[in-house]
Every structure is written in C-alpha cells, then in structure tokens.
Amino acid sequence: QVTLVESGGGLVQVGGTLRLSCTSSGRTSITNTMGWFRQAPGKDREFVAGITWPWHGENTVYADSVKGRFIISRDNVEKTVYLQMVSVLPEDTAIYYCAGRTNYFVQLTPASYGFWGRGTQVTVSS
C-alpha cells in the first residue's frame, strides 16, 4: 500500500554533513507520521527522529543522541522526508531506515511503524 525508498547514504568523514531522503509512493495519505531509525551490526534498531505532517499538527521528536545535530524535515509536494545529518560521529554509522505509520503521533518503537524502506548505509570514517 505504501512504498518507501531511502537514498543519500554513503561514506562521510567525522564532522561532515549528509542528507538522507525518503520518498514515498502509493497510498501516502495513510502515512501521517514518518520516522527515521538506524541499526548498527549487533545492535537493536533505534529511533532517530520523527515528524508528523503539517495538516495533523507539526511535531518533531529526536533521540537524545542526535539532538542539535540532526534535523528532520518534509516536502509535502514531493512526498519526501529528509534527515539532515550535521557533525556526524563514528557512532552514527548504521543502516538508516525510513518508516511510516498511520497514527498522528511520533512513536519511538519500531513496532509502532507499519511501513518501512530497505535502508541506506551511512558510514562515518575518521
């Protein structure tokens, strides 16, 4: 019903900047909340940032580990969600996933999201 595709990942140096994109297609009207998650090898998938669409009340939520460094935003016309990553750290290395849910609130658990992209690899090198 909803297809999400991430892009923009790659290799970036410590302290660098990267912007991830998530394009959506299909029944995008049911993805009222979007989120970014990441998962490193041997670790659980963790919440990074979330955002609601403006017609449901603008709201953003960030994990403590990325506050002040990452910014989540959206383009309503292009149906795209972005994650601007600034001052990246080695611990930011992970596969980043775009996720969507039908409810109007940002949730922190992966199980709360019903739609997922395949992920895009972000590697921070020194």
- pLDDT at res. 27: 83
* Residue 59 CB burial class (10 angstroms; 0-12, 13-18, ≥19): middle
Any idea what the Cα angle at residue 94 is, between residues 92 and 96, rounded to 5°?
100
> For the residues 101-125, what does the mean pLDDT come to?
95
pLDDT in tens, 67-94: 999 999 988 788 899 999 999 999 999 9
- pLDDT at res. 116: 97
pLDDT in tens, 28-77: 877 889 999 999 999 999 999 999 976 666 789 999 999 999 999 988 78
- pLDDT at res. 54: 63
* Integer angstrom CA distances of residue 65 from 31, 54, 80, 118: 25, 25, 24, 23
